[in-house]
Amino acid sequence: MTERRPKVTLAEAARVFRRQPSPWMIGALLVAAIVARIVLADWRLGDLVLVGVMIAVFPLAEWVIHVCVLHWRPRRIGRVKIDSLLARKHREHHADPRDVPLVFIPWQTLLWLLPVVTAIGLLAFPTLARGLTFLVVLGLLGLGYEWTHHLIHTDYKPRTRLFRAVWRNHRLHHFKNEHYWFTVTTTGTADRVLGTYPDPSTVANSPTAKALHDYA
């Protein structure tokens, strides 16, 4: 008989979430950006436009990162093997989807990624105010991604139609076929546009869903 795992509450999932380094690292950037944005003020219509564009683009960015970075197939150029930490950790995540630390963005990656996005926010926008708005929204999206991905991989049972769809979408990616259903925080958005949202009944179970590229 298969052992039934106890259900997890949101409070229990949140306690585990708080013990991981990436939420704190992203959260620190978010708090700093919010404080600076409030102090600077200079609220414009451009802030609302930027928020809307970032929210609209995020599923596509999530899809591209998942496909091109996380599912990167290790390659050799001469004697040099090209295989990023993110790709290695993601293969380990597919091999053991219940390993909690592997669910989160590696803190080693955030050590360089957060300074890079901070520099983009401070230097790449026409005004500092718009750049800070960018960092606030990016921090919220980042925390939302980490929380959603974490919750999907716990034994918390979906109670809303929206989360049930997101939960099912990502579970199909992990346990049915890793070549489809790449979005995590949404379902039927970028996947539908980019052709990776098939009817599950028409897709064969993949033998490499837990062993990406046979490198597990």
Query: pLDDT (tens digit, 9 = 90+) per residue, 122-176?
Result: 999 999 999 999 999 999 999 999 999 999 999 999 999 999 999 999 999 999 9
Cβ(149)–Cβ(170) under 8 Å? yes
Q: Does residue 203 sit in helix, strand or coil?
A: coil
Residues 55-87: tens digit of each pLDDT:
999 999 999 999 999 999 998 888 888 999 999
* Number of domains, the chain: 1
| Residue 47 is assigned to a structural domain of this protein | yes
| Closest C-alpha to 110, from 81, 134, 74, 138 | 138
Cβ(135)–Cβ(29) under 8 Å? yes
Q: What is the pTM of this model?
A: 0.93
| Residue 171 is assigned to a structural domain of this protein | no
Domain that holds residue 75: 10-157
CA distance 85 to 177: 23
Q: Does residue 100 sit in helix, strand or coil?
A: helix
Q: Does residue 193 sit in helix, strand or coil?
A: helix
Give strand pairing partners of 77.
Answer: 80
| Residue 186 is assigned to a structural domain of this protein | no
- Tell me what pLDDT residue 214 has: 62
Residue 103 burial (CB count, 10 A): 21
| Closest C-alpha to 169, from 198, 195, 207, 204 | 198
| Closest C-alpha to 40, from 115, 123, 134, 132 | 132
| Residue 190 is assigned to a structural domain of this protein | no
